[in-house]
Amino acid sequence: MSNFKEKAQLIFEEIKKVNNILLHCHVSPDADSLGSCLALKEFLERIGKNATLISGDDPIPKSMKHFPGADKVEEKNFFEVDLKNLDLLISLDTASIDMISKLGDVKFPENLKVIVIDHHISNTNFGDINLVEANFIAAGEIIYMLLKEWKVSVTDTMALNLFLAIYTDSGGLKFSKTTEQTYKIASELVSLCPDFSEAIFKLENSNSPEKIFFLGLALNSLEYHFDSNVVISAVSFEKLQDKGIPKEHTSKAGISNILISVEGWNIGITLVEREKGVISVDFRTRDPERFDVSKLAVALGGGGHKAAAGATIKGNFQKVKKHLLEIIPNIYPNLGS
């Protein structure tokens, strides 16, 4: 924790030096990305900083529009921001520079200092200051600990955003990386935000009809491999077009989580060709100690955690799937045939 304290102090000193700060959600923003950014943005504004939060490549999902402050998120990607007048970029919950944007080659001007705050073990440390805590289950957990270290009074809205960040990235406080500290922090946060149960309900029950159609399509596209230890849901761009399902309704993580809820299906993989030639791959496992899916993601140019990881691959859908099936037995040689 001593290194955490040192980095926390270093980050706070950098924040105090500057005025104009940019925050961003990562590609395909989730609740940890949004909630962490919103809580940090509120803190920065309270101490008099100009903090801009952009949604990044993708719009904020409808299910997260009720997060406190979500209406202040600017619907811009990284390349639509004028960086000349900015002093600092704080990149939260973002394991690599290409997760800031997939729309081009992300480069930082000399005037822009970069601070990375993340919990992904695969983080590439692309900042000038890098606070990477892989033992934390969510970026929201790190932000809460930073605020405590900075002696900040956490408001009810900050607490709700951080609770939702932690709740979702921990799988409802049940993933294997959930610790006693996670529960302690969650308890402290819910004591500050009495409406947390209503917020969870909205988050989990704001599905569109298109998302349900996608769920049916994905579950009707299952493939079983390696004695059913690996189950893949493979949805091509043509399938999406045929059913008239827009890409913003193609949630990946939800499908993979359903797959690993089945006893004996140890690895759940979802391949979704959200745009022609651009395949989003999502990995989940029931047993992260035996089947570290971050290894699979890294082999495909992505990253993540032992229990949950992902990648975005450009190429032919069938060739990408074939390549995936070829590398799986190299990483997990005892899966079966």
**Does residue 252 have a pLDDT over 70?**
no
**Does residue 285 have a pLDDT over 70?**
yes
- Tracing tokens 């009495």 back to the chain, one arrives at 194
What's the pLDDT tens digit per position in 155-181? 999 999 999 999 999 989 988 889 999
What whole-number percentage of the chain has pLDDT above 90?
84
Task: State the pLDDT confidence band at 35, using cuts at 50, 70 and 90.
Answer: very high
Residue 249, pLDDT score: 83
Domains of the chain, earliest start first: 2-204 (3.90.1640.10), 209-331 (3.10.310.30)
Residue 202 backbone dihedrals phi, psi, to 5 degrees: -65, -40
Residue 248, pLDDT score: 79
**Does residue 1 have a pLDDT over 60?**
no
Residue 253, pLDDT score: 58
Q: Which residue has the higher pLDDT, 23 or 176?
A: 23
Tell me if the pTM is above 0.75: yes
**Does residue 325 have a pLDDT over 70?**
yes
What's the pLDDT tens digit per position in 114-135? 999 999 988 999 999 999 999 9
Q: Which residue has the higher pLDDT, 211 or 77?
A: 77
Distances (CA, A) of 250 to 61, 188, 272, 273, 283: 11, 34, 8, 9, 15
Residue 2, pLDDT score: 60
**Does residue 251 have a pLDDT over 80?**
no
